[in-house]
């Protein structure tokens, strides 16, 4: 069974001239592989928290990127030899290989969740506590906001960076039906109220 460890709880703090933001970074361990989801933008926190679980950058086998906003991938440079995955492509240096359905050699399901970004994808993982979805910015909150997790608030929540509002709502509904717990791109993990 896949092990899940939140290394960094994502944050998004309004600053004087913009934002200070780094995504939630999750370590998945499945079939002997160490997989990072969205390594984020805070390099000191990432390296410190990897060390706290006994890992170094060279111990990471794969990186999954939910979408291409820099606060989710800037730390990729710490992993120069690691294969990078998005919703359907594996990047190994300049070689691109397609895949479909699951991260290869794992039980981790990949689900297209467009809306916030066209290429957005989420992960669905079966665990002892139920199904856990790592959703990137399908759901996210700034640090100044209250995290409301009832179904209506989650489905209708505004997103100032949305690329396609109808796709975003459809992706949210899909994930809410499939999962028991959600790990958002910025904010705390929460349980789905069914």
CATH of the domain at 181: 3.60.15.10
Count of structural domains within the chain: 1
Q: What are 92-141's pLDDT values in tens digits?
A: 999 999 999 999 999 999 999 999 999 999 999 999 999 999 999 999 99
Contact between 186 and 139 under an 8 Å Cβ cutoff? The reply is: no
pTM score of the predicted model = 0.96
pLDDT, mean of residues 55-66: 97
CA distance 149 to 151: 6
DSSP one-letter code for 108:
-
Q: Which residues contact 98 (CB under 8 A, 6 or more apart)?
A: 88, 89, 90
Q: According to the model, what pLDDT value does residue 194 have?
A: 73
Q: Which residue range(s) make up the domain with 102?
A: 3-191
Q: For the sheet containing 121-127, what is the strand order?
A: 109-112, 121-127, 130-134, 181-183, 190-191
Binned at pLDDT 50, 70 and 90, residue 72 comes out as very high
Over residues 158-169, the mean pLDDT reads: 96
């Amino acid at each position: 069974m896949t092990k899940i460890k939140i290394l960094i709880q994502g944050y998004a703090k309004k600053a004087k001239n913009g934002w200070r933001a780094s995504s939630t970074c999750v370590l998945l361990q499945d079939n002997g592989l160490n997989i990072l989801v969205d390594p984020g933008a805070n390099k000191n926190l990432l390296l410190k928290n990897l060390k706290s679980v006994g890992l170094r950058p060279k111990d990471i086998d794969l990186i999954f990127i939910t979408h291409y906003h820099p606060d989710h991938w800037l730390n990729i440079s710490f992993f120069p030899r690691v294969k990078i995955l998005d919703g359907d492509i594996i990047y190994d240096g300049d070689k691109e290989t397609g895949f479909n359905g699951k991260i290869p050699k794992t039980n981790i399901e990949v689900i297209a969740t467009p809306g916030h970004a066209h290429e957005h994808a989420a992960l669905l993982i079966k665990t002892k506590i139920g199904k856990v979805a790592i959703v990137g910015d399908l759901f996210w909150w700034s640090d100044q906001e209250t995290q409301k997790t009832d179904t209506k608030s989650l489905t209708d929540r505004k997103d100032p960076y949305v690329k396609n509002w109808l796709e975003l709502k459809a992706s949210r509904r899909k994930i809410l039906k499939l999962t028991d717990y959600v790990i958002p791109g910025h904010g705390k993990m929460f349980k789905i109220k069914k």
